[in-house]
Structure 1
């Protein structure tokens, strides 16, 4: 099974059997892109998923490369209907593009492959939201670089949910999961002032990283600061400020932002982190914003997870909640159009 995107992107590592039943669950809704799929027709898709199974570039021992497959296998546990927001995701078109090919030993080759794949996806699916399923956090810099190559004149902003700055020195750490934001700043792709990080807390960042963030104008909200105003208000503020400065917003969700009690299957999990409810509220708000045109979900290791795969399921829920925000935004747009037609 191949697709028109091959060889930049390989077929998914796992696919569900095609069913003609009424679409009720996620695995019945999201279809893999194969040669049977019309390349022109699938351009209409609102959502394109791509797996990025890389974790060799992780500072800590990580099996995050296993998440794209675990993510796909978890779809059967979820319906397309979101009871709380009264929306059905199946009203949108979504496709699984497959996985970015990885080299066995050469990390730089892996990163180049991610850039090429991102460029191919953003070139072909120019109106779709590209969602990357990692993989460690190093993939973010590469996905953004690929997106930037398609539209180099568009200013990119970053909304980051993370326990860490991810601004470590590239000369010491290389393009690892500890350096993606610095990578984007030093490569001139994203200005520091156009980065917004929500979720920093505790004793998990060195002072020199804070100094670098301040010197480069990076915007950040600790958990304590966020909780004073609440997650929704904080994210709305970030998005409002970003929308006045950039053309497109990239959302990156590092699952280590969550407290270890909620996400045991995370390599760099910490105590005192974000709650599940807070993160879900945050990604829902992000999904509602029209400038958020790409996102990723990173640093989730199924091999560290419990036997019931609670963190894997939570990662999938984060993804679906983001899509709920997208669906709500589209619903609002349609309502606005109807109102306008009567004026």
Structure 2
């Protein structure tokens, strides 16, 4: 897969099923990162895979293929960090969203979540919702990869329509846990996922995030995964979720028409192990979102 046509090579009136957008943020990262190199690495990894989908995974009653979708690559936002860079990223996200059913943004560190979500939400932002799969609350002060959720709340997002899945022990301060509580954020702790399947948790998250009828952004911070499957994420820890659970969430996001945008964050392609497992997982999440779009109950597929 991959090697999709560029957006500017297609007529403007063609409605895309999925728009791919690189947002290589890295300059405000709390830890040293080469995450700015990751969009290119994910695109390269996508070429390892086919578009075929197994029927027994519930995509259709017969084998399906991502090749049935209209997908276009909008390229990378130039220097997306900082005030001017965020403005460019927000504009690019808005443009991609207007032409597609779902935007998949390739980060970059987690600071990309702010402009990508705001761009995709547009004027419907007051009714929007957010779902994060992340080991961290991302409610820090300041502007960094640790602050996107707080910044979106300050921009007007209602905390009662935020669901955070996979929050880990020993990775967050008590202060941020209290902030989440104060804002009315629904938190699904990592431990709870041992007792509840991801598909049930994500279905509930969609209802909460979409309760006002607005668009939903899904932030897939790959450091929510166990470090054995995501060694290229600087903040991943032993005991995180499985690669399969992350892929389940990505497909469920793609399948729901309320989800207008998805980002993949916190993968440092320059820190990955020799077999490239972290970048490959991120690439598979792109394909899982696309597989979900194949069965969206909106009359389009």
- Do Structure 1 and Structure 2 share a fold, with TM-score over 0.5? yes
C-alpha distance 326-37 of structure 1, shift in aligned 2 (>3 A):
closer
In 2, the alpha carbon distance for the partners of 1:33 and 1:116 equals 15
In the other structure, the counterpart of 2:139 is 167
Selected match of 1:78 from 46, 49, 53: 49
Larger-gyration structure (1/2): 1
Asked if 1:226 is matched to 2:226, the reply is no
In structure 2, C-alpha distance between the alignment counterparts of 1:186 and 1:244, rounded to whole Å: 20
Unaligned runs of 5+ in 1: 1-25, 336-343
Shift of 1:256: 0.4
Distance in 2 separating the partners of 1:281 and 1:40: 32
The residue that corresponds to 1:240 in the other structure is 207
Q: What secondary structure, in the 3-state scheme, does the structure 1 residue paired with 2:74 have? A: strand
Matched, 1:182 2:150: yes
Match of 2:47, SS state, is helix
- CA shift for structure 1 position 184: 0.6
Correspondence for 2:164: 197
Matches within 5 A, 1:41-190: 41=14, 44-83=15-54, 84=57, 85=59, 86-102=63-79, 107-122=82-97, 124-125=98-99, 127-148=100-121, 150-152=122-124, 155-169=127-141, 174-188=142-156, 190=157
Q: Distance in 2 between matches of 1:306 and 1:144?
A: 30
- 2:37·2:268 contact (CA, 8 Å) conserved in 1? yes
Distance apart, 1:246 and its partner CA = 3.5
Q: What is the deviation of 1:224?
A: 1.1
Q: In structure 1, what is the equivalent of residue 289 of structure 2?
A: 322
Pair 1:209–1:73, CA change in 2 (3 A): same
1:147 to partner: Cα distance:
2.8
* 8 Å contact from structure 2 (residues 23, 112) kept in 1: yes
1:263-314 per-position Cα deviation (integer Å, ceiling 9, x unaligned): 1111212111111111112222222212111111011011111122111111
SS in 2 for 1:151: helix
With over 3 angstroms needed to count, the CA separation of the structure-2 counterparts of 1:164 and 1:153, relative to structure 1, is closer
- Mean alpha-carbon deviation: is it higher for 220-229 or for 54-63? 220-229
Partner Cα distance (2:300, 2:120) in 1: 28
Q: 1:334 to 1:110 in 2, by over 3 A?
A: closer
Q: Mark the CA change 1:76 to 1:199 in structure 2 (over 3 Å): closer, same or farther.
A: same
CA RMSD of aligned residues (A): 1.8
Q: Distance in 2 between matches of 1:238 and 1:31?
A: 33
Where 1:184 maps in the other structure, the secondary structure is helix
Q: Which residue of 1 aligns with 2:239?
A: 272
Given that 1:197 and 1:220 are in contact with CA atoms closer than 8 Å, whether structure 2 keeps it comes out as yes
Q: Runs of 5+ in structure 2 lacking a partner?
A: none
Q: TM-score, normalised by structure 2?
A: 0.92
The structure-2 alpha-carbon separation of the partners of 1:194 and 1:151, relative to structure 1 and needing over 3 Å to count, comes to: same
Q: Which of 257, 261, 265 is equivalent to 1:298?
A: 265
Query: After TM superposition, what 4+ stretches of structure 1 lie above 6 angstroms from structure 2?
Result: none
Normalising by the residue count of structure 1, what TM-score does the alignment of the two structures yield? 0.81
The CA distance in 2 between the partners of 1:248 and 1:38, in whole Å, is 25
Deviations 1:38-66 (A, max 9, x none): 2223xx11111110111111111111110
Point out which structure has higher relative CO (alpha carbons under 8 A, 6+ apart). Answer: 2
